[in-house]
Amino acid sequence: MKILFFSDIHGSPDSLLLLDKHIQDLAPDCLAILGDLLYHGPRNPLKSDYEPPKTAAYLNLYKKKIIAVRGNCDSEVDQMMLDFPMMSDYSIILAGNLKFFLTHGHLWNSDKLPPLEPPSVFVYGHTHLFQLERLESGIIALNPGSVSLPKGGNPPSFAFFDGNSLKILKLDDGSELKSLELF
């Protein structure tokens, strides 16, 4: 199973247009969205391409492939625009013997993990900073960063699981920022 992870879109359709090229090239079985889909949030700048209806229309094209969780900026009004569920605080994807625990990161994070055992991958967004590391517990922490509003001087990014490894990739050209072999 191939999974493409992304987070913190914050209503940016231009970011999704860039991501679409990678979706076509990588052909994931599943698109895992880690929250903050449509609203920019009061702490974030308003991007010039901020257009929630256009963002929702784009995401709805992939509704059969999407597993999404609710971010701290998401609400019932956002759900009304989307053709897939996105109001759960977490979701789980099983891929072979791996468990991917998906959440936004405002309730659980790499310092406050839910009850997981290896081999598990804790996948979250919220910080807009990418992370990929094996924690002391043996759990792998993955944050794909943000496709639209990265922080810490990082480029916009997303993550990809190809069945054997996890990679964090730059949104603009798909080049690798970080990788971890799992098997």
Burial-class residue 76 by CB neighbours within 10 Å (0-12, 13-18, 19+). exposed
Q: How far is CA 133 from CA 60, 84, 96, 112, 182, in A?
A: 32, 30, 20, 15, 11
Confidence band for 123, pLDDT divided at 50, 70 and 90: very high
From the list 137, 130, 117, 116, the residue with the least C-alpha distance to 166 is 130
pLDDT for res 41:
76
Q: 143-154 pLDDT, tens per residue?
A: 999 999 999 999
pLDDT for res 47:
83
Tell me the residue range of the domain where 29 lies. Answer: 3-181
Rounded to 10 degrees, what is the CA torsion of 74, 41, 109, 15? 90
pLDDT for res 102:
98
Spacing of C-alpha 139 from chain mean position: 18
- Residue 158 three-state SS: strand
pLDDT for res 58:
97
Q: Give the chain's domain count.
A: 1
- Site of tokens 């009061």: 42
Phi, psi of 173 (to 5 degrees): -125, 0
Asked whether the predicted pLDDT for residue 99 surpasses 90, the reply is yes
From the list 159, 102, 166, the residue with the least C-alpha distance to 129 is 159
Residue 16 belongs to a domain with what CATH number?
A: 3.60.21.10
From the list 149, 138, 136, 135, the residue with the least C-alpha distance to 47 is 149
**What pTM does this model have?**
0.96
